[in-house]
A and B are shown apart, each in its own frame.
Chain A
Amino acid sequence: MKGLCAQGVQICFHGRAVVDDVSAQFRRGRVTALLGPNGAGKSTLLASLAGLRRPDRGAVLIDGADLASLHPRERAQRIGLLPQLGEVHWDIDVRTLVSLGRLPHRGRWGEQSRDISAIANAMAAADVSQFASRSAKQLSGGERSRALLARVLAGEPEWLLVDEPLASLDLAHQLDVLALLRTVAAKGAGVVVVLHDLSHAARVADDVVLLKAGKIVAQGERELMLKAEPLRTTFEVDVHIGRAVEGESFVIPLRRWQP
């Protein structure tokens, strides 16, 4: 079986299932949005797809092989994760920060030309080349998240897993990052992204997985998922779904839905 695949994944914290019997298939060349309210288990599912949290039940398979059987280094080369928390602990410059993304690939003797070009490409793609030598601590929140995204891109992963990458970005860079995710998918990688804004999901996703309280409410292609009924069940809000003159769909929450 090709792709990244969750099979009956259950993950418990203190005896409570945070992710419960989730089965989902993620495909290469496509962007899949994980959507759901707070506490739905999106980040936990993402961490288990990245191999960081072994399922208590079920398994995550990568091209048919159990992800847990992969050597951590190989796993790190194939799957790149951008965590929600954008930690940078030392006062390093942006170029050094991005170069950390090559760690799973680098040999013993430092950067090779392949590493250097991957770093430069990633910086250009995330639009951070212009402050390569600035300290990461002096960046604004949005600049920093772009630098951190460049770090993951520098690893040129087959699978790009990103947790709320748009949180602190201005409108222009939100569009940039969404376009970037599409480009990454178009080049053949699989992208799984946790998003909060349904209009963003409508813009970027090929497939959508709707999660609520650890369970999958519905999953499938975007057109089928971004509809009033499944969104109402997932988020407990009534939504208006419209289409701009330019053709882009948008989703506006109207009111809380009382069942």
Chain B
Amino acid sequence: MSQTLVVGLSTVSRSTQVRLNAALMAALVIAAAFSLIAGKVWLPAEAWSMADPRWLIIAELRIPRTVLAMLIGAALGLSGAVMQGYLRNPLADPGLFGISSGAALGAVISLYFGFAASMLLLPAFALAGAAITMLALALLAGRSGSLVLFALAGIILASVAGSLTTLAISLAPTPFVASQIVTWLLGALTDRSWDDVRLALPLVLAGALLLAGTARSLDALTLGEQAARSMGVDLRRLQWLVVLGVGLCVGASVATSGIIGFVGLMVPHMVRPLVGSRPSAILLPSALGGALLLLVADTLVRIAPTVSELRLGIAMSLLGGPFFLVMLVRMRRSLV
């Protein structure tokens, strides 16, 4: 009797997972279609032919922007889910290792020296910043595999990179450069092209592959480090999978679109009530959910009736505040 009950439970949770992923994919298709039509210029069905002059907008602006939004959203959502599982902390965020701050610092340095005109230099600098941060993490945390040391090293690097970024702004050679840096830091997907997609796609795919390899170990870590190791988890290998995977995903995102916060933090929280809290169960839904969230947000900032387009990074932060307020209120209720 109890056995059938247990078997039943497992199949139910499995099918919930499949259903959620299918629903997210369907929503993603709809959102992508809407994203292609919507914007300052609306593109009705007649525009969808090579002969139409508006086709250029679709092919060179809308499609790459839509693809990039999904790519980056997925990268950030997945990174967030892995980071939370790895640190066993629901408030962990892909920015915690300092990799995004490092990448941002790289980009800021290229802007500071006026390299922004080149399409390639800014992302190259950002990726170099991400890589250097990962290397510094390795040197600081050593070979211990200790999680606390690692998080601490990440916080140090994030704060150093953050202060250097502020320094670059305050020492900017012209007010124009300063404002260019600040605007870039706010994160956006405006006017992104296929070049950006070509840059981000392989990096995000490689990073996602590494992160997918952490699923089983993250589940084991639910029971603490000692139990995980007794179940055969190699904590040092896991650490490097997480750092490299998050580094590639976050590095690629920052390099192509600046800092977009809260996606990695929020999406896993949205997914957990639907599929349960087991870390491996939320990886795919978090990637899909991140893609959906960022795509919808980017479409909304495009059609929002503002004079100049609302920066996506700001929009996400505006969304993040209330989201966590709701969570806090709910938590407080359950604690009292």
Question: Which residues of A line the B interface, CB within 8 A?
Answer: 47, 50-52, 72-73, 75-77, 79-83, 85, 87-93, 95-97, 99-101, 103-104, 106, 110-111, 116-117, 119-120, 123-124, 129-130, 132-133, 148, 151, 155
Please give, as numbers and ranges, the residues of chain A lying within 8 Å of B221 by CB-CB distance: 89
Q: Known: A76-B232, A96-B276. Is A88-B9 also a contact (CB below 8 A)?
A: no
B212 CB to nearest A CB, Å? 11
Within 8 Å CB of A83, what residues of B?
224, 226-227, 230
* Cβ-defined contact, A79 with B7, below 8 A: no
B6 pairs with A120, CB closer than 8 A:
yes
Write 10 A-B pairs (CB below 8 A) sorted by A numbering. A76-B230, A79-B230, A83-B230, A89-B223, A91-B277, A95-B10, A96-B276, A100-B222, A119-B6, A120-B3
CB distance from A113 to the nearest CB of B (A): 9
Instruction: Mark each residue of chain B from 198 to 229: 1 if its CB lies under 8 Å from any CB of chain A, else 0.
Output: 00000000000000000010011111101101
Choose among B5, B10, B221, B233 the residue with the greatest number of A CB atoms under 10 Å from its CB.
B10
Contacts of B219 in A (CB 8 A): 100, 103
Q: Is the CB of B7 within 8 A of A120?
A: yes
CB neighbours of A123 from chain B (8 A): 2, 6
Compute how far the CA of A119 lies from the CA of B10 in the bound complex, rounded to whole angstroms.
11
Q: How far is A123 from B7 in the complex, measured between Cα atoms in Å? A: 12
CB-nearest residue of chain B to A52: B229
The reply to whether A87 and B224 contact each other, CB–CB distance below 8 Å, is yes
Enumerate chain B interface residues (CB-CB to A < 8 A).
2-3, 5-7, 9-10, 13-14, 88, 216, 219-224, 226-227, 229-234, 272, 276-279
Q: Is the CB of B230 within 8 A of A89?
A: no
Let me know if A76 and B231 touch, CB within 8 A: yes
Q: Which residues of B contact A124 (CB under 8 A)?
A: 2-3
In the bound complex, what is the Cα–Cα distance between A88 and B219 (angstroms)? 11
Write the nearest CB–CB distance from B217 to chain A, whole angstroms: 9
Instruction: Flag if B223 contacts A88 (CB, 8 Å).
Output: yes
* Residues of chain A contacted by B278 (CB below 8 angstroms): 90, 92, 96
Are A89 and B224 CB-contacts (below 8 A) given A96-B276, A120-B7? yes
Q: Is B226 a contact partner of A47 (Cβ separation < 8 A)?
A: yes
Contact residues of B: prevailing secondary structure: helix
CB distance from A181 to the nearest CB of B (A): 18
A151 / chain B contacts, CB cutoff of 8 Å:
223
Q: Cβ of A120: which chain B residues have Cβ within 8 Å of it? A: 2-3, 6-7
From known contacts A100-B219, A120-B3, infer whether A52 and B10 are also in contact, taking CB-CB under 8 Å: no
Q: Which residues of B contact A117 (CB under 8 A)?
A: 3
Query: Is there contact, CB below 8 Å, between A110 and B14?
Result: yes
Smallest CB–CB gap between B10 and chain A, Å?
6
**Which residue in chain A gives the minimum CB-CB distance to B220?**
A103
The answer to whether A89 touches B10 (Cβ under 8 A) is: no
Q: Is the CB of A95 within 8 A of B230?
A: no
Closest Cβ neighbor of A93 among chain B residues: B276
The chain B residue with its CB closest to the CB of A51 is B230
Q: Which residue of A lies closest to B1 (CB)?
A: A129
A82, A100, A104 interface centre (most CB from chain B within 10 Å)? A100
Q: What residues of B have a CB within 8 angstroms of the CB of A116 in the complex?
A: 6-7, 10
Residues of B near A99 (CB, < 8 A) are: 10
Residues of B within 8 A of A89 (CB): 88, 221-224
Known: A103-B220, A111-B10. A129 touches B231 (CB 8 A): no
The 3 closest A-B pairs by CB, nearest first: A87-B224, A76-B232, A81-B230
For A85, list chain B residues within 8 Å (CB): 224, 226
Is there an interface contact between B230 and A80, defined as CB atoms closer than 8 Å? yes
Q: Min CB distance, A124 to chain B, in Å? A: 6
- Looking at A77, A79, A132, A151, which has the most chain B CB atoms within 10 Å of its CB? A132
Whether the Cβ atoms of B5 and A72 lie closer than 8 Å is no
Interchain nearest-CB distance for B188 vs A (Å): 34
Docked pose: A97 CA to B222 CA in angstroms: 9
In the bound complex, residues from chain B placing their C-beta under 8 Å from that of A91 are 272, 277
| Residues on A with beta carbons closer than 8 Å to the beta carbon of B224 | 83, 85, 87, 89
Q: How far is the CB of A46 from chain B (nearest CB, A)?
A: 10
Contact B223 A129 (CB under 8 A): no
Q: Which residues of A contact B10 (CB under 8 A)?
A: 95, 99, 111, 116
CB distance from A54 to the nearest CB of B (A): 12
Minimum Cβ distance to chain A for residue B178 (Å): 44
B5 proximity list for chain A (CB < 8 A): 129, 132
Q: Which residues of A contact B222 (CB under 8 A)?
A: 88-90, 92, 97, 100
Given A90-B279, A130-B2, answer yes or no on A50-B230 (Cβ-Cβ < 8 Å).
yes
- Give the docked Cα–Cα distance between A77 and B216 (Å): 15
* Docked pose: A82 CA to B13 CA in angstroms: 26
Q: How far is the CB of B151 from chain A (nearest CB, A)?
A: 15
Instruction: From B14, B88, B234, B277, give the contact of A72 (CB < 8 A).
Output: B234
Closest to B227 in A: A83
A95 and B9 contacting across the interface, CB-CB below 8 Å = yes
Known contacts A76-B231, A96-B278, A132 near B6 by CB under 8 Å: yes
Instruction: Give, as a whole number of angstroms, the nearest-CB distance from A136 to chain B.
Output: 9
Closest chain B CB from A22 CB (angstroms): 20
Chain B residue nearest in CB terms to A155: B231
Minimal Cβ-Cβ distance residue in B for A79: B230
Q: A81-B230, A90-B222, A92-B222 are in contact. List 7 more A-B contacts (CB 8 A).
A: A88-B223, A90-B277, A95-B6, A111-B10, A120-B2, A120-B6, A132-B2
